[in-house]
Amino acid sequence: MGNKFSYSDLCAGIGGFRIALDPLGGKCLYSCDINPDNEKTYFANYLDKYNTYDIYDIKSRTFPYVDVLCAGFPCQPFSIAGKRKGFTDSRGLIYFKIAEIIKHSQPKVVFLENVPNLMRIEKGRTFKTILNNLNELGYDPYYEVLDSSNFGVPQSRNRIYIVAFRKDLNIFGFNFTKKRTKKRSFRSIIQTGDYSIPISKKWNTYIDLYTGKISLEDIAFDVPKTRQKLERVDKNVNLNDCVFQIRSSGIRALSIDKPLPTFAVSVSGGGAMIPVYSKERRHISIIEITRLMGFPDNFEFPVSRTNAIKQLANAVCPPVIKSIFQDILFSTENSIISESRPIREKV
C-alpha cells in the first residue's frame, strides 16, 4: 500500500497495534508502556525500546505530531473481572492523560481499545464522559464492540473500539466491518505433541475425575468444592478431547471445534490458570496462546513463560486492529496524511 502515515503506540504492551499498522504503511514515532518486561518483548520483535515507561512523564506540549494516536489503555478499572472502579481507579485516569496529549498533538485520528464494560460502568456515565471529551477536543467519535472470532482469531474476545476523526477531516459517518472471516476453531491451531507446559499430578487426577474414570471417593487428597465437578459443559463436547478452562468459580469443559471464550490468566501467574488440553493431558502451549491471540508464530518472547502468557492475555488482537484500520483508510480515501498539519499552541 502506497499510503504512509505516522502513529504513536501508547499503553503499547507488546505491540499488537504495531503488528497491524506497520504492514499498512505505518511508522511508529513514539511508544510507551509501564512494564519493563513488556519492553523486552517489544524490543525483541521491533528493535525499538519505549520512549518512556510512565505515560504521566510525557510532556504533552512537546509530544511529536502523529497522524494516528493509538492506545489500548488499561482495562482493569472497567473490566467485569476487576473491581470496576472506573475513573476512581488511578489506571482509569490514564484516559485523561491521553486526552491531554491529543489536545496538544492534534492527530488526525484517535484509535482506542478497551473492554465492553467500559460502556456500562457507572450506568454509562464513564463512557459518555469519554465521548463528550473527544468531541470537546475537536473530534467526531465512533465506536463498536467487535468479536475477534469474526476476524480469523480462534477466540471469542469482545472488545470496544473507538475511532475518532479530527473534525476538519470532514468524515461524516464511519462504518466498522463487523466480520471478515468464518469462525475458526481451536482445533485448527493445536500444536499436537507440545508438552512444553506439563500438568501436575493433581491435574491428571482431575482429568480422570471429569472423564468418569474415577470418583471423588477414589481421590486421596481434599478436593475443593469448585473442583469436585464441572461447572459448565459445552453442548456435544468430548471430555476426552476438549479444553478445560480453569476459573476461580469452577472448571468449564470447552469444545475445541469452535473458538474458545476470552483468554485470561490470573494475576498470580504460574501455570495453574492456563487452560488444559484433555486429550494430551497438558496445558495449552505458548505457541497455541500466540495463535489464540492472533499473533504470528515467529513472535519472540525473551521473558519468562509466566510473563509471556500474561503479555499475550493483555494484548490486543492484531487481525481486528488491521481490519479497523483498513476501514479508516477507506473512510479517508487512503489519505490519512496531508500537507496541512494542525498548528500547535505556543509553549
Residue 141: in which H helix or E strand, if any?
Answer: strand 139-147
**Whether the Cβ atoms of residue 53 and residue 94 lie closer than 8 Å to each other:** no
The catalytic site residues sit at: 75
What is the per-residue pLDDT for 270? 47
pLDDT band at 346 (very low <50, low <70, confident <90, very high): very low
The cell numbers describing 322, all together, are 488491521
Q: Which residue has the higher pLDDT, 63 or 273?
A: 63
Tens-place pLDDT, residues 175-211: 999 999 999 999 999 999 999 999 999 999 999 999 9
| Res 339: pLDDT | 47
Q: pLDDT digit string (tens) for 203-261?
A: 999 999 999 999 999 999 999 999 999 999 999 999 999 999 998 899 999 999 999 99
Average pLDDT over residues 335-342: 56
Length of the chain: 347
Residue 274 φ then ψ, to 5°: -80, 130
The DSSP bridge pattern shows strands 26-32 and 5-10 to be: parallel
Q: Domain-by-domain residue ranges, the chain?
A: 5-182+315-331, 192-284
3-class secondary structure, 201: helix
| Residue owning grid cell 483498513 | 326
Beta bridge partners of residue 191, listed in sequence order: none
Mean pLDDT of 150-155: 98
pLDDT digits (tens, 9 = 90+) for 72-102: 988 565 545 555 454 555 555 899 999 999 9
pLDDT tens for each residue of 105-122: 999 999 999 999 999 888
Report the alpha-carbon distance of residue 317 to residue 187 in Å, rounded.
19
pLDDT in tens, 273-310: 899 999 999 999 999 999 999 999 999 999 999 999 99
Q: With respect to CATH, is domain 5-182+315-331 assigned 3.40.50.150? A: yes
pLDDT beyond 80 at 343: no
Full-model pTM: 0.91
